């Protein structure tokens, strides 16, 4: 008789990890197809429709990029903290607060020309995002309070603060049904038309540049190296003479600033008004984006696009007659499988050789 045991593998090659993620995504897509068939729809036709409408139409790529940008910014924020072994569950709140900081400058700040104005708004959003995470960061470093809880709870505070701003002091008098701020007078310029990215704005370039800078910093600077060691083993890092607390603080503040900048890009590039719907859970999806990318900055860009594709599929499915609850469930299923597959890649099935029978000649 054959016996098997499950073994944890200490380190997995990138190829195995990617393979596992792809395989589990495929499995979940098949399961989703089965569900759609049970709903009386044609899964293959729907799948083609999703791919066609997500990639091959005049809006598809633009929509994909517009959705991927905030997801990638939140993913970069989460991955920065994962580098030092901390969880940023609060990217959503930092995203909102960053957008509010940018909106404040845009609505009530100086009336400069576009570029200096955008720079000032970017600076305001990064300051606001960093300030928003400063309390959890200091609580973590001084008191040892779990940053998972504090960053998460501050999301609700941020969201309610935005609600108050847009229903109160910053409410647009002209709109009628929902609460939102007036339209910002400045906007991030669009990419040139002949690049065939439709209405995508230069914020996309900022996202890509930031991902590259972070990737280079992680790979080639002493700072990046120290972050990694602090994340792997704080005692060892401390023993090696690194300023561990300082590095942790830097990573956390920077994470807040990146998420805040994400909020500014979404505000000034895509939505143009501060409103409660500015982030549709982007900060939370950013966690999945960062985990799937194994906190690699360039990987975050790829998984951000993949995640945008999946979320976009939910929209396409609804226009094809799939109920919204089923579309949300399908998206959730795919995300869950991807995350589980990524973890499972760390394990392997090992055959245990049968024990020699007593009395059997050796």
Site residues (vs another protein, CB under 8 A): 53, 57-60, 63, 66-67, 163, 167, 171, 173-180, 183, 199, 266, 270-273, 275-280, 312, 315-316, 318-319, 321, 323-324
Name the residue nearer to another protein (CB basis): 30 or 55.
55
Name the residue nearer to another protein (CB basis): 130 or 191.
191
Q: Tokens for 328?
A: 């949300």
Nearest distance from C-beta of residue 290 to another protein, angstroms: 21
Nearest distance from C-beta of residue 321 to another protein, angstroms: 8
Name the residue nearer to another protein (CB basis): 275 or 337.
275
Name the residue nearer to another protein (CB basis): 139 or 187.
187
Nearest distance from C-beta of residue 192 to another protein, angstroms: 17
Nearest distance from C-beta of residue 309 to another protein, angstroms: 12
Nearest distance from C-beta of residue 348 to another protein, angstroms: 40
Distance set, CA 143 to CA 78, 136, 137, 146, 249 (Å): 22, 10, 10, 9, 13
Q: Which candidate, 328, 341, 214, 339, places its Cα nearest to that of 288?
A: 339
Nearest distance from C-beta of residue 22 to another protein, angstroms: 25
Nearest distance from C-beta of residue 52 to another protein, angstroms: 9
CA–CA distance, 72 with 68 (Å, rounded to integer) = 6
Name the residue nearer to another protein (CB basis): 155 or 296.
155
Name the residue nearer to another protein (CB basis): 248 or 265.
265
Name the residue nearer to another protein (CB basis): 49 or 150.
49
Name the residue nearer to another protein (CB basis): 60 or 304.
60
Nearest distance from C-beta of residue 175 to another protein, angstroms: 6
């Amino acid at each position: 008789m054959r016996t098997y045991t499950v073994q944890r593998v200490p380190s997995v090659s990138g190829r195995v990890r990617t393979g596992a993620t792809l395989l589990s995504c495929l499995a979940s897509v098949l399961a989703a197809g089965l569900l759609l068939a049970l709903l009386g729809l044609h899964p293959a036709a729907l799948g083609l429709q999703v791919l066609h409408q997500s990639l091959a139409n005049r809006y598809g790529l633009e929509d994909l990029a517009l959705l991927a940008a905030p997801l990638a910014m939140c993913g970069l924020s989460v991955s920065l903290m994962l580098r030092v072994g901390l969880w940023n569950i609060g990217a959503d709140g930092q995203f909102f607060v960053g957008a509010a900081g940018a909106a404040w400058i845009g609505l009530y700040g100086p009336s400069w020309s576009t570029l200096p104005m955008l720079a000032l708004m970017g600076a305001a959003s990064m300051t606001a995002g960093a300030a928003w995470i400063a309390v959890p960061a200091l609580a973590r470093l001084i008191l040892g309070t779990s940053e998972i809880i504090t960053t998460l709870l501050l999301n609700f505070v941020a969201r309610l603060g935005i609600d108050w701003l847009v229903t109160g002091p910053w409410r647009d008098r002209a709109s009628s049904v929902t609460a939102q701020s007036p339209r910002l007078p400045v906007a991030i310029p669009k990419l040139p038309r002949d690049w065939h990215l439709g209405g995508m704005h230069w914020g996309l370039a900022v996202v890509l540049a930031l991902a590259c800078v972070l990737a280079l910093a992680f790979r080639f600077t002493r700072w990046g190296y120290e972050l990694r060691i602090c994340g792997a083993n704080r005692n060892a890092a401390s023993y090696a003479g690194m300023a561990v607390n300082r590095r942790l603080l830097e990573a956390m503040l920077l994470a807040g600033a990146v998420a805040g900048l994400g909020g500014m890009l979404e505000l000034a590039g895509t939505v143009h008004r501060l409103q409660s719907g500015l982030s549709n859970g982007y900060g939370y999806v950013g966690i999945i984006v960062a985990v799937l990318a194994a906190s690699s900055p360039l990987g975050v860009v790829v998984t951000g696009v993949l995640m945008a594709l999946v979320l976009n599929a939910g929209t396409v499915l609804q226009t094809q007659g799939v109920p919204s609850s089923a579309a949300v469930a399908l998206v959730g299923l795919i995300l869950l499988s991807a995350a589980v597959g990524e973890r499972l890649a760390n394990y392997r099935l090992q055959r245990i050789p049968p024990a020699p029978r007593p009395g059997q000649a050796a």
